Structure 1
């Protein structure tokens, strides 16, 4: 019963954090902002319409080991995790990301585990 209560409490706290936008939004410098904003997001179906060059997989993860509620405030937002993926795409020389998954995943050694995965592509925008 205690573990069900713990899971319910943890899930409720996470939902409040995500719905409030999370106070731990990652701040980027101007050059990083530009790199992240320059990356478009397409679905797997949409990318098939382009002559796209696959550059590789990109991933980011966050594990919080503590179940202390004060520590849960520092959980990154899904937006900041997506920006981390976009920055990786930019560093690979790409301009498009196809998101595969992004969210909370059950991982036994973490009180909270977030993971985002995607694929980096370069397409000719004809500029």
Structure 2
């Protein structure tokens, strides 16, 4: 009986070795980690560093139906941070962020900014 139990457990473990679990949790956690590593600066603050501009970034959201979530500045700035991280940046300056009208949207919001590689220490005065 002991050999049969051992054989059964061995077969079960081997047959389950190729099982994968897929969730969207990885994407959520990945974007949270990326946004934590990117800081938002004002134009005055970024001028105090020897920061290197990496490129323009933009994010937008369209609320197509009244029941959908509404766009927020915070969510769009987080999207900008993820994009800045993708460019190798650790800082952003949001140049504009606002709501506007779009044909198929109940509410449309767009933010634009610039991604930067910001050193840890401030530059020389």
* Alignment TM-score, normalising by the size of structure 1: 0.65
Look up the match of 2:70: 75
How far is the alpha carbon of 1:36 from its aligned partner?
0.3
Q: CA RMSD in A?
A: 2.1
Which structure 2 residues correspond to residues 1-127 of structure 1 after superposition, within 5 A? 29-66=28-65, 69-70=66-67, 73-108=68-103, 110-125=105-120
Q: How many residue pairs end up in the alignment?
A: 96
Q: 1:38 to 1:105 in 2, by over 3 A?
A: same
Deviations 1:3-54 (A, max 9, x none): xxxxxxxxxxxxxxxxxxxxxxxxx632321210111111112111111100
Structure 2 distance, partners of 1:34, 1:92, is: 15
Look up the match of 2:21: none
